[in-house]
């Protein structure tokens, strides 16, 4: 069954201006969502629905296809479902309509490909029409009665307070992943379009709705061992006159299937890729050459570079200088490969 991911990402945002292009861990929120979808084995194509030119350019740079959303579906009152229906109606005719649809939200920056695959896999059960990601929640919830008094929602405040361990399992929607059968979704126009499967995922952080959420997610990201990276990287290029790679690190990279490419000059990059039968999408480039940054599937620039370089970089390093940035990305690449067992 063909499955597509659609990421709604309009230009306007009241709580955090420019939120979808905000960098977290050096990567725009939109880019993190696209890379997560590209890591999912069950996603056949990734689309971004937007009304914004800068978001569209970023989406294409990170490997997604763009669906240009009309202004009538891009205001504060427009629903995500409306954007999804518009996307389904305007998809390319080839290779045919999808049977499964996944909506991802940029406001959940720690989504993984494995979590997306688990939500899609729930639809393998013919009784399930849709699925969503949730996190375990052991909170005692309260509401307000018509008389203005607090009343228990998932507990009875008029009885002896139960122990948390005795409460039935409950989960909170984390706003990250929604998977649905296209036919069922089209029939009712809602993401919850029939029997729902709840897929528990780790509670990695909040949805980003305001600046306090940004601060918390930035703190959580700083504690993570490696930044997000796209799938399929097979070569690491860097400016030879600005950085060196210790032989031991080069050997470890090769063991993990990544070819180190110290470039005597930026124009040598095309020849180096051709010699290895690799495409630019498989290349991670660390440096400050404009053409190399434009070419690479994962372009990494040092911190505090000029705006035109920063705009081209998929990932901005926390380090200054190419030498320090190279050392940082090598640790990240090796750590990611060791964590995945590849």
Beta bridge partners of 285: 237, 299
Under 8 Å between Cβ of 202 and 214: no
* 146-161 burial code (b ≥16 CB/10 A, e <16): eeeeeeeeebeeeeee
Work out the number of other CB atoms within 10 angstroms of the CB of residue 100.
23
Task: Catalytic residue, from 14, 100, 161, 224: name it.
Answer: 161
Identify the H or E element spanning 331. helix 322-340
In whole angstroms, give the CA distance from residue 66 to residue 52. 10
Q: What phi and psi, each to the nearest 5 degrees, are found at residue 218?
A: -65, -40
Catalytic annotation on 161?
Answer: yes
Under 8 Å between Cβ of 43 and 2: no
In whole angstroms, give the CA distance from residue 178 to residue 104. 7
Catalytic site positions: 161
């Amino acid at each position: 069954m063909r499955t597509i991911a659609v990421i709604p990402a309009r230009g306007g945002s009241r709580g955090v201006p420019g939120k979808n292009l905000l960098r977290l861990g050096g990567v725009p929120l939109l880019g993190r969502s696209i890379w997560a979808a590209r890591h999912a084995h069950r996603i056949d194509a990734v689309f971004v629905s937007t009304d914004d030119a800068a978001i569209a350019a970023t989406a294409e740079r990170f490997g997604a296809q763009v669906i240009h959303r009309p202004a009538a579906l891009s205001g504060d009152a427009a629903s995500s479902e409306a954007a999804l229906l518009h996307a389904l109606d305007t998809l390319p005719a080839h290779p045919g309509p999808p049977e499964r649809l996944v909506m991802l939200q940029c406001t959940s920056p720690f989504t993984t490909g494995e979590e997306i695959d688990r939500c899609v896999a729930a639809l393998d059960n013919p009784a399930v029409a849709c699925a969503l990601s949730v996190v375990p929640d052991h909170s005692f919830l309260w509401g307000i009665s018509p008389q203005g008094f607090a009343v228990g929602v998932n507990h009875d405040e008029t009885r002896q307070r139960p122990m948390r361990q005795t409460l039935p399992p409950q989960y909170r929607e984390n706003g990250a992943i929604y998977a649905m059968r296209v036919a069922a979704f089209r029939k009712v126009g809602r993401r919850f379009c029939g029997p729902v499967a709840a897929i528990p995922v780790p509670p990695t952080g909040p949805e980003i709705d305001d600046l306090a959420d940004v601060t918390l997610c930035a703190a959580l990201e700083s504690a993570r061992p490696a930044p997000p990276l796209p799938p399929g990287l097979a070569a690491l290029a860097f400016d030879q006159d600005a950085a060196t790679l210790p032989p031991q690190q080069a050997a470890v990279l090769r063991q993990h299937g990544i070819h180190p490419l110290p470039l005597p000059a930026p124009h040598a990059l095309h020849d180096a890729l051709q010699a290895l039968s690799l495409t630019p999408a498989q290349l991670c480039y660390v440096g400050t050459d404009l053409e190399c940054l434009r070419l690479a599937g994962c372009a990494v620039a040092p911190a505090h570079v000029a705006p035109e370089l920063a705009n081209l970089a998929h990932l901005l390093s926390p380090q200054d200088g190419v030498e320090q940035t190279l050392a940082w990305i090598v640790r990240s690449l090796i750590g990611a490969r060791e964590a995945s067992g590849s």
